[in-house]
Protein backbone atom coordinates (compact mmCIF):
# COMPACT_ATOMS: atom_id res chain seq x y z
CA UNK A 1 0.00 0.00 0.00
CA UNK A 2 1.09 3.58 -0.67
CA UNK A 3 1.73 6.17 1.95
CA UNK A 4 -1.01 8.55 3.07
CA UNK A 5 0.92 11.41 1.44
CA UNK A 6 0.77 9.68 -1.94
CA UNK A 7 -2.96 9.04 -1.54
CA UNK A 8 -3.59 12.70 -0.66
CA UNK A 9 -1.38 13.82 -3.56
CA UNK A 10 -3.20 11.54 -6.01
CA UNK A 11 -6.57 12.73 -4.73
CA UNK A 12 -5.49 16.37 -5.09
CA UNK A 13 -4.27 15.73 -8.64
CA UNK A 14 -7.55 14.03 -9.51
CA UNK A 15 -9.56 16.91 -8.06
CA UNK A 16 -7.45 19.42 -10.00
CA UNK A 17 -7.96 17.46 -13.22
CA UNK A 18 -11.74 17.39 -12.69
CA UNK A 19 -11.76 21.16 -12.11
CA UNK A 20 -9.67 21.83 -15.23
CA UNK A 21 -11.89 19.60 -17.38
CA UNK A 22 -14.98 21.30 -15.96
CA UNK A 23 -13.63 24.76 -16.69
CA UNK A 24 -12.56 23.85 -20.20
CA UNK A 25 -15.89 22.26 -21.08
CA UNK A 26 -17.99 25.04 -19.57
CA UNK A 27 -19.17 27.61 -22.06
CA UNK A 28 -21.32 30.64 -21.75
CA UNK A 29 -24.05 31.39 -24.29
CA UNK A 30 -21.81 33.65 -26.38
CA UNK A 31 -18.89 31.22 -26.36
CA UNK A 32 -20.89 28.60 -28.27
CA UNK A 33 -21.17 30.99 -31.20
CA UNK A 34 -18.45 32.03 -33.58
CA UNK A 35 -16.82 35.41 -33.87
CA UNK A 36 -18.97 38.45 -34.58
CA UNK A 37 -19.53 38.73 -38.31
CA UNK A 38 -19.36 41.92 -40.32
CA UNK A 39 -22.67 43.09 -41.74
CA UNK A 40 -21.68 41.87 -45.21
CA UNK A 41 -20.53 38.46 -43.95
CA UNK A 42 -23.67 38.08 -41.82
CA UNK A 43 -25.98 38.77 -44.78
CA UNK A 44 -24.01 36.41 -47.02
CA UNK A 45 -24.10 33.61 -44.45
CA UNK A 46 -27.83 34.06 -43.73
CA UNK A 47 -28.55 34.08 -47.47
CA UNK A 48 -26.53 30.85 -47.86
CA UNK A 49 -28.60 29.19 -45.11
CA UNK A 50 -31.89 30.34 -46.63
CA UNK A 51 -30.82 29.19 -50.10
CA UNK A 52 -29.94 25.77 -48.71
CA UNK A 53 -33.36 25.52 -47.08
CA UNK A 54 -35.00 26.34 -50.39
CA UNK A 55 -32.97 23.72 -52.27
CA UNK A 56 -33.73 21.04 -49.68
CA UNK A 57 -37.45 21.79 -49.64
CA UNK A 58 -37.78 21.92 -53.43
CA UNK A 59 -36.33 18.40 -53.62
CA UNK A 60 -39.16 17.00 -51.50
CA UNK A 61 -41.97 15.20 -53.27
CA UNK A 62 -45.17 17.16 -52.56
CA UNK A 63 -47.65 15.76 -50.08
CA UNK A 64 -50.52 13.79 -51.61
CA UNK A 65 -53.93 15.37 -51.29
CA UNK A 66 -56.31 14.58 -49.72
CA UNK A 67 -53.89 14.48 -46.82
CA UNK A 68 -53.38 11.19 -45.04
CA UNK A 69 -50.57 9.17 -43.50
CA UNK A 70 -48.67 9.27 -46.81
CA UNK A 71 -48.06 12.99 -46.19
CA UNK A 72 -46.25 12.44 -42.87
CA UNK A 73 -42.84 12.01 -44.50
CA UNK A 74 -43.24 15.28 -46.40
CA UNK A 75 -44.18 17.28 -43.30
CA UNK A 76 -41.47 15.60 -41.22
CA UNK A 77 -38.81 16.42 -43.82
CA UNK A 78 -40.05 20.00 -44.16
CA UNK A 79 -39.95 20.29 -40.36
CA UNK A 80 -36.43 18.84 -40.16
CA UNK A 81 -35.16 21.18 -42.89
CA UNK A 82 -36.69 24.16 -41.07
CA UNK A 83 -35.15 23.08 -37.75
CA UNK A 84 -31.75 22.76 -39.41
CA UNK A 85 -31.96 26.21 -41.01
CA UNK A 86 -33.15 27.78 -37.76
CA UNK A 87 -30.29 26.17 -35.87
CA UNK A 88 -27.76 27.48 -38.37
CA UNK A 89 -29.25 30.98 -38.21
CA UNK A 90 -29.24 30.82 -34.42
CA UNK A 91 -25.50 30.10 -34.41
CA UNK A 92 -24.67 33.20 -36.42
CA UNK A 93 -23.11 36.07 -34.55
CA UNK A 94 -24.38 39.21 -36.28
CA UNK A 95 -23.26 42.73 -35.50
CA UNK A 96 -24.53 43.67 -32.03
CA UNK A 97 -27.15 46.05 -33.42
CA UNK A 98 -28.81 43.14 -35.25
CA UNK A 99 -28.81 40.51 -32.50
CA UNK A 100 -32.38 41.29 -31.35
CA UNK A 101 -33.72 41.14 -34.92
CA UNK A 102 -32.00 37.79 -35.50
CA UNK A 103 -33.49 36.48 -32.26
CA UNK A 104 -36.96 37.51 -33.49
CA UNK A 105 -36.31 35.74 -36.80
CA UNK A 106 -35.25 32.58 -34.96
CA UNK A 107 -38.40 32.80 -32.81
CA UNK A 108 -40.57 33.08 -35.92
CA UNK A 109 -38.87 29.97 -37.33
CA UNK A 110 -39.64 28.11 -34.10
CA UNK A 111 -43.34 28.92 -34.54
CA UNK A 112 -43.23 27.40 -38.03
CA UNK A 113 -41.56 24.29 -36.64
CA UNK A 114 -44.44 23.76 -34.21
CA UNK A 115 -47.06 24.12 -36.96
CA UNK A 116 -45.19 21.73 -39.26
CA UNK A 117 -44.94 19.17 -36.48
CA UNK A 118 -48.67 19.53 -35.84
CA UNK A 119 -49.40 19.10 -39.56
CA UNK A 120 -47.42 15.86 -39.54
CA UNK A 121 -49.38 14.63 -36.54
CA UNK A 122 -52.70 15.54 -38.12
CA UNK A 123 -51.74 13.80 -41.36
CA UNK A 124 -50.75 10.67 -39.44
CA UNK A 125 -54.32 10.29 -38.19
CA UNK A 126 -55.85 11.33 -41.52
CA UNK A 127 -57.23 14.66 -40.35
CA UNK A 128 -57.13 16.31 -43.77
CA UNK A 129 -59.12 19.44 -42.80
CA UNK A 130 -56.81 20.02 -39.82
CA UNK A 131 -53.76 19.60 -42.07
CA UNK A 132 -55.21 22.18 -44.47
CA UNK A 133 -55.81 24.62 -41.61
CA UNK A 134 -52.27 24.12 -40.32
CA UNK A 135 -50.83 24.67 -43.80
CA UNK A 136 -52.70 27.99 -43.90
CA UNK A 137 -51.15 28.85 -40.52
CA UNK A 138 -47.68 27.92 -41.79
CA UNK A 139 -48.16 30.12 -44.86
CA UNK A 140 -49.28 32.98 -42.60
CA UNK A 141 -46.30 32.31 -40.32
CA UNK A 142 -43.92 32.57 -43.26
CA UNK A 143 -45.16 36.13 -43.72
CA UNK A 144 -43.98 36.92 -40.18
CA UNK A 145 -40.63 35.29 -40.95
CA UNK A 146 -40.38 37.26 -44.21
CA UNK A 147 -41.03 40.50 -42.30
CA UNK A 148 -38.14 39.69 -39.95
CA UNK A 149 -35.95 38.77 -42.92
CA UNK A 150 -36.71 42.15 -44.52
CA UNK A 151 -35.94 43.95 -41.25
CA UNK A 152 -32.54 42.24 -41.21
CA UNK A 153 -31.97 42.65 -44.94
CA UNK A 154 -31.43 38.92 -45.44
CA UNK A 155 -32.97 36.10 -47.48
CA UNK A 156 -34.66 38.29 -50.07
CA UNK A 157 -36.70 37.07 -53.02
CA UNK A 158 -36.63 33.35 -53.70
CA UNK A 159 -34.53 32.79 -50.56
CA UNK A 160 -37.32 34.11 -48.32
CA UNK A 161 -39.17 31.71 -46.03
CA UNK A 162 -42.35 32.78 -47.82
CA UNK A 163 -40.91 30.96 -50.85
CA UNK A 164 -38.73 28.26 -49.31
CA UNK A 165 -41.34 27.12 -46.78
CA UNK A 166 -44.65 28.84 -47.58
CA UNK A 167 -44.78 27.93 -51.24
CA UNK A 168 -43.36 24.45 -50.70
CA UNK A 169 -45.75 23.46 -47.90
CA UNK A 170 -48.71 24.28 -50.15
CA UNK A 171 -47.55 22.09 -53.07
CA UNK A 172 -49.62 18.94 -53.51
CA UNK A 173 -50.05 16.00 -55.83
CA UNK A 174 -52.87 13.58 -56.41
CA UNK A 175 -53.23 10.93 -53.74
CA UNK A 176 -52.83 7.60 -55.54
CA UNK A 177 -55.02 5.86 -52.96
CA UNK A 178 -58.00 8.01 -53.91
CA UNK A 179 -57.72 7.27 -57.61
CA UNK A 180 -59.61 4.23 -58.72
CA UNK A 181 -60.11 2.83 -62.12
CA UNK A 182 -62.85 0.56 -63.35
CA UNK A 183 -63.44 -2.38 -61.07
CA UNK A 184 -64.15 -4.69 -63.97
CA UNK A 185 -62.26 -4.82 -67.26
8 in a structural domain:
no
The candidate with the shortest Cα–Cα distance to 105, out of 52, 137, 149, 41, is 149
Q: Residue 147: which domain range?
A: 33-121+128-171
Q: Is a pLDDT exceeding 70 seen at residue 19?
A: no
Q: Are 52 and 58 in contact (CB under 8 A)?
A: no
Q: Is a pLDDT exceeding 60 seen at residue 76?
A: yes
Task: Note the pTM of the prediction, 2 decimals.
Answer: 0.77
Domain count, the chain: 1
pLDDT band at 20 (very low <50, low <70, confident <90, very high): very low
Q: Tell me the percentage of the chain whose pLDDT exceeds 90.
A: 71
5 in a structural domain:
no
Res 126: pLDDT: 93
93 in a structural domain:
yes
Distance CA 154, CA 168 (A): 19
97 in a structural domain:
yes
57 in a structural domain:
yes
182 in a structural domain:
no
51 in a structural domain:
yes
Amino acid sequence: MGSPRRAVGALAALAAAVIVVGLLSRRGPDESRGATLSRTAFVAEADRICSGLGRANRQLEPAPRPYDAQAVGFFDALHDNTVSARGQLEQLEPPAAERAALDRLVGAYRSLEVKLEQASGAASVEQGPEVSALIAEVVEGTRAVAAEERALGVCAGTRSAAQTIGREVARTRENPLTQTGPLLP
